[in-house]
Structure formats: C-alpha cells, structure tokens
Structure 1
Amino acid sequence: MNRRSFCFSTSAALTGLAGATLFPKIAFSSPTTLSWVSPARINLVHSYVLAGVAKGWFKDEGLNVDIRVGTGTAQSVIQVASSNSFFGQASSSTSCPAIADQDADLITIGQVAYQGFFELAAPPNQPITDPAQLQGKTIGVMSLGGTTDVLLDAMSLAVGLDPSKVRKVVTGTSSSGAAFLQRGDVDAFFVFPDSKFALRQMNVDLSYTPAHTYVPLPGDAILVSKSNASNPDNRDAIVKFLKVCRMGLDYMQNEKNFDELIQIVAKFNPVEGADVVKGRSVLEMLKVYYEPTGGVQRIVCDEQAWQDGVLLMEKIGLIKNKGLPLSSFLDNSFAKQAVAGM
C-alpha cells in the first residue's frame, strides 16, 4: 500500500479499530503542552513556529510546544487526524480531499502560505509549459500521498487528462532531484524555495514552472482535528498558538531578522541552518508566498480563495463528495480571534 492509500484509508478509519490501533487517540484536556508536526524535514518554511519556541513567545502565552519532524504532508495529516499531534501543516490539496471523501477528522484553522510553494524543474531545453506534456513522462515527487503527488495528478486532471499516464518517482525535498534528472530517471521533479536556491547555487541550469499557475489552490495551512477544535476547553490554547504563529510570520517579513531565524532553524536542523547566504535568499522568497490575499490579515484564511479552491478540486475530481459547505474544511474563527487580540 502506498502512502496515499495509507493516508486516506487511515483517515477513513480513524474512529474505528484500525485507526485506534495505529494511532491511539490522545486526550488534550485543558492543553498547555501541545505538539506541532512538520510536513517535511525542518526548514526555513517552518520558521514562523520555530521562532515562537526559540524566543519564548509560546511560553509567554502559557504554552509548551513540542516540535515533531514529519516525513511528508500525508504523514502530518495522519498524525493530526488521529490526534497523535495537536497541530500540523498541510496544503488544501492534501487536507480537503481527505475531509470530503474520507471523513478525515481535520479542520484548517489558519493560513501560512497564500499560494503554493512548489514548482516543476525540468531541463531548459525541455521545459514543462503545459500539463499535457506530462503524459507519458516520469516526474519526481517529494513523497507519495503528499502535496506534490496530489498536485501532479491535479495538473493532468485540470486539462482533462488521465493522471495515471504520468509515472512517479520519489525524489525527496532536497536538491537531489537533479541527480535523478541527470541519470534520466525522471523528466522533471518538484522543488520548493529551499531546494530551488540550492540548485542555483550548484549552477544547475533548469527551467521552473510553478504548479500554482495550473492549479491555483490555497497554500500551506495549520490544521487540527475537528474533535480538538470543537472542544471548548481547547479554544484558548488554539487561539494563543495562532497568535504566536502570526507573530512568527510577521517576524519573517523583516530582513533584519533573517540571520536570527537561520540560527533558530539550525537548532532544529543544523544542516539547514549552515548556509546563511542560502537562508537569507530563501526567507526573501518566502515573503511572496506568505503575503495575504483577499484583504485578510496574516494567519487568517482567505475564505474566497478556499471556496474557489474547493470548487476547482471538485471540478477536476480531486474531491468526489461535492457540495460540502466551506465550514467542513476550515474554521476561521480561531485566527480572527487571535489577530483581534494583537
């Protein structure tokens, strides 16, 4: 069973025996110690929450936040849906289909990125300029069942083509995808700001195509389980968590803070924090993705973009169970309360 099947089948069984056996429920009553699981290895994308830990902002709010390292977006979703971790991070293309079609115990409560991070890297003489070009090719995804896997399918579905005609190879989240490309194992592979910068530093000449161009879906967001969100005893802690995340996102916008943020990330991932020049460039790039849309404040979900995104996912078949209200996918009340108190 691949990770996608594992993710969705686990989500469907969360309230049953299989879910209870694989990921036993953890009761979070009157939470003060909470966990956040990353959607991949720790990197600068996650600075907004790491800063809250390192600078003591969570403790100032009476929270102890435990950082857990995930192995992919699908795994992060599973951990949150099973309450093995209280908070997680995932894109709408991963969370919404699981909620709609598998009744996953998930709800989005805050938005981190307002557009997708991911781009397809290909040889400059063979750029990907149309999703139809993907047919019959082999593409490197970061993990099976994760965001890039889903986006790759969505790119084909968006133009009425069969995603099964596109072969997939896991190339990971680092710049190692270039080695797969050079060996001829893939025709293109997904990158995000971190790996894109590394490839440029290595003087690897590639053409880049943002997936957002063809599949404009809301980017990464903060998730909790619906069970935990609906428990009134948890509300104060969730609002405080989002308040600190908003502080972290604001902190990331000022280049004067870049070196400190790189040092903070290095505490959690020494390799990631070793290259200061790279770190500054990546943080500068992230400012674009983290810029709010729709007139909302940072950390608040752009509800119109989410509504449009859900409709697009229904149209192209990523979501099979159509017509669910937006409230099935997100609850903006926590984030709105968090920013109102700042």
Structure 2
Amino acid sequence: MTHLTRAGFLRASGLTLLGGGALAACADDGAGGGQGGATEDFTFVSFLPMDTLTFAPEMVGIAGGHFAAEGLQTTVQVARGTPQALQSVLGGVAPLSRCATIDLATARTEQDQPLVNVGTIIRQPMLRLNYSLDRPIETAEDMVGLTIGIPSEGGTSEKSLLLMLMNGGVDPEQVTRQVVAQTPASWEMVRRGQLDGYISSTDMSLLVQAQHEDAAALNPGDVAPMPSDTQFYVTTEEALESHAEPIRAYLAAVRSACGSVLEDEGFTQTVATLREEYTFATLDDDAVARDGLAVQADGWTDGGAAPELLVTDMDLWLEGLEELERVGFVSGVEDAESWATNELLTP
C-alpha cells in the first residue's frame, strides 16, 4: 500500500484549510460561513474531558474557528465514559459522539441499539502498554505470567489488551489484570515491581517517557494486526435523518481542523492555537505535545495510507467486525454494512 506525504494526503482528501491564526471559539458574530453568517447550536458528547490530545480535532475545531466557519456554535458535553456518552446520543441529548468499533458492535448485537458510524477518525491503536526498560515487554508471549494494569474492568482498554493477547497467540487467562489509575502512582508501581506494565492513553505514555529515562511503551498494533481497533463518530439512525445537515457541518469542520494540523509541520502553530483555549499536562510540555499530535495525525491517516480523512473503508470495517465475532467479543453480526455510512462526508 502506498503511503502519502502530508501534502499528498491533503491533496488526495481535497481539503480546503482555514488560513491564519486562531479565530474566536464558537463565535456567533457572523463568523459562521456554513449558514449564510448564522450559527446553529450543536452539542458533541465526549467520553473524556478535553484534557487529552485524543480530542485534538475537537479542540482545534473550537480554538481554530473551524466549527464557527461551518456555522456551528459547538458545545462539548463530557460524559463519564463511552457507555454514558452513547446513552446521551441514544436519548437524544446530543446528536453525535465518538466510540470504538467494539462499543458500537456490542450496542448493536446485544442491545439492538440503532447506532451508526458516520466517519472514522482513528485508524490505529491509540492505547499504549507502559513498561520499564529493566523488564522489557516486546511481544504477547512476554506478558505470560505478568500483571498488567488497566484503567477499568470490562472497558475498551481491557478489551484492547485481550484482543492484542489473543491475536498474538496468548491465552488472556495467562495474564493477570489489575485496575489502576492513569496517574504517576501507576508508574511507581511498575518501578517497585507491583505491576509489570499498565495501559494508558498515548498522551500519558509520552509524558511518562519524558519524565523517566527507564520508561518505554508498546503499541498493541505492533504485536499483531488489530483491524477492529478503530474509533469513529457515531450517531443514531433517527439523528441521521433529523440532524443530517448539522452533523455534516460538524464532520466538515473536523476534516478542516485535522487538515490544518497535518499542514502544520512541527505542529508549532497547532500547539499555540490549542494553548489559547486549553491547558493540561501533555499540552503544556512542548515535546510531548508535538509527539502526541504526531501520533494522532498518524491515527487519522493510518500513517498516510488512508485515502481520505474520516472516510470509512467498508472492507476494513467489516474485517474489524469479523475479528470481534471471531474472538467471541460479539455474536450475531448481521447487515453490518448498514452500521456505517460515508454519505455525510460530501458537501
């Protein structure tokens, strides 16, 4: 598969980027160009607070004026995890959120919930397994007999770990899992030998590595292919009809925001724009912020291999669902083509 440069990717995606510096976030003074100068209120439900570069598209979209340029005054409502975020969408509190393939597949097969993927934002594993260079972990086999920390039992992080182990040929029962917080205390547990490693976001992993010379991290995707480890924007079948145009505008703003990041070599302007609106540990550290944005950019583009921002590759979508069914995470996957659409990614 041919990998594109950033410039080539932008040309292939047909993106028109906003110029200049940051505009006023969520302005309602006529900055919105998508609706003849008018703005429309739009609520996005996030499964995490806006203190992680995981949500760089949203934060750049707000701080850089991309939502305003599409005629949206966007509000981010923070939920306590993905299940609550999806319930907000299903309950009509907001038309759009993000989730992983496993979350939508579970909702569809176990609860018959009418959720639909309307645009793939992350195409690679974004979680990291942190470990000490004194006790390196490089393969699934290396984890046999070890204790690995996870942020929550039964959550996406644990399922990603299980999937990595199974795809790497290891029985998950051979690895002990322990719930831990994504704080410096977890790294101290690794140093003391109470844990052999723990799962965290890319942001936190980069911060730990920046602060500790003996810290390293494993990308689960390097252990074994994980086609289901993707993340996308999700709505309901009803909202797909009743809120089609504002969702279309939101996705256009996300594409513009991501495009501006991809065009920004070194991410200097992106970091400056984000800091006008946000402050958190991984953004406040220059090197970690740049490295974190680089990882996110690779995730949006699959390292430049994806043909267009947000466009769901239906073959890979089905392959991911087949993977989840094969390992027993879900069952009864039917008519999966209708669970995803690219129709809102066109003008």
State if a TM-score over 0.5 links the two structures.
Answer: yes
**1:173-212 pair list within 5 angstroms:** 173=182, 176-212=185-221
2:320 aligned with 1:309:
yes
**1:99-248 pair list within 5 angstroms:** 99-158=108-167, 163=172, 166-173=175-182, 176-213=185-222, 214-217=224-227, 218-229=229-240, 231=241, 233-248=242-257
Deviations 1:239-298 (A, max 9, x none): 111111100111111335834433444424444432223212221232222214765311
Aligned-pair CA distance for 1:117: 0.9
Give the conservation status (yes or no) of the 8 Å contact 1:51–1:261.
yes
2:81 aligned with 1:45:
no
**Equivalent residue of 2:301, what SS?**
coil
> Which residue does the alignment assign to 1:35?
43
**Equivalent residue of 1:253, what SS?**
helix
2:260 aligned with 1:251:
yes
**In the superposition, relative to structure 1, how do residues 96 and 128 fare at CA in structure 2: closer, same or farther (>3 Å)?**
farther
Q: Does 45-54 or 70-79 show the bigger shift?
A: 70-79
Q: Percent identity, please.
A: 19
Aligned residue type for 1:40: L
> Which residue does the alignment assign to 2:4?
none
* TM-score after normalising by structure 1: 0.78
2:288 aligned with 1:288:
no
C-alpha separation between the residues in 1 aligned to 2:268 and 2:82? 27
* TM-score after normalising by structure 2: 0.77
Give the conservation status (yes or no) of the 8 Å contact 2:318–2:337.
no
Aligned-pair CA distance for 1:237: 0.9
**1:258-269 pair list within 5 angstroms:** 258-266=267-275, 267-269=277-279
Q: CA RMSD in A?
A: 2.7
> Which residue does the alignment assign to 2:25?
none
> Which residue does the alignment assign to 1:18?
none
> Which residue does the alignment assign to 1:62?
71
Unaligned runs of 5+ in 1: 1-30
**Equivalent residue of 1:242, what SS?**
helix
Give the conservation status (yes or no) of the 8 Å contact 2:300–2:310.
no
C-alpha separation between the residues in 2 aligned to 1:297 and 1:286? 15
**In the superposition, relative to structure 1, how do residues 176 and 195 fare at CA in structure 2: closer, same or farther (>3 Å)?**
farther
Give the conservation status (yes or no) of the 8 Å contact 1:138–1:166.
yes
Give the conservation status (yes or no) of the 8 Å contact 1:82–1:105.
no
**Equivalent residue of 2:122, what SS?**
coil
> Which residue does the alignment assign to 1:276?
286
Number of positions where the alignment pairs a residue of Structure 1 with one of Structure 2: 304
Aligned-pair CA distance for 1:79: 3.1
Aligned-pair CA distance for 1:200: 1.9
C-alpha separation between the residues in 1 aligned to 2:321 and 2:244? 26
C-alpha separation between the residues in 2 aligned to 1:264 and 1:159? 40
Aligned residue type for 1:171: V
Aligned-pair CA distance for 1:141: 1.7
Deviations 1:134-160 (A, max 9, x none): 454332223344321211222344367
C-alpha separation between the residues in 1 aligned to 2:192 and 2:99? 31
**In the superposition, relative to structure 1, how do residues 256 and 288 fare at CA in structure 2: closer, same or farther (>3 Å)?**
closer
Give the conservation status (yes or no) of the 8 Å contact 1:94–1:150.
no
**In the superposition, relative to structure 1, how do residues 61 and 282 fare at CA in structure 2: closer, same or farther (>3 Å)?**
same
C-alpha separation between the residues in 2 aligned to 1:123 and 1:328? 44
Give the conservation status (yes or no) of the 8 Å contact 2:121–2:300.
yes
Aligned residue type for 1:303: M
Unaligned runs of 5+ in 2: 1-38
> Which residue does the alignment assign to 2:13?
none
**Equivalent residue of 2:284, what SS?**
coil
**Equivalent residue of 1:290, what SS?**
helix
C-alpha separation between the residues in 2 aligned to 1:81 and 1:211? 31
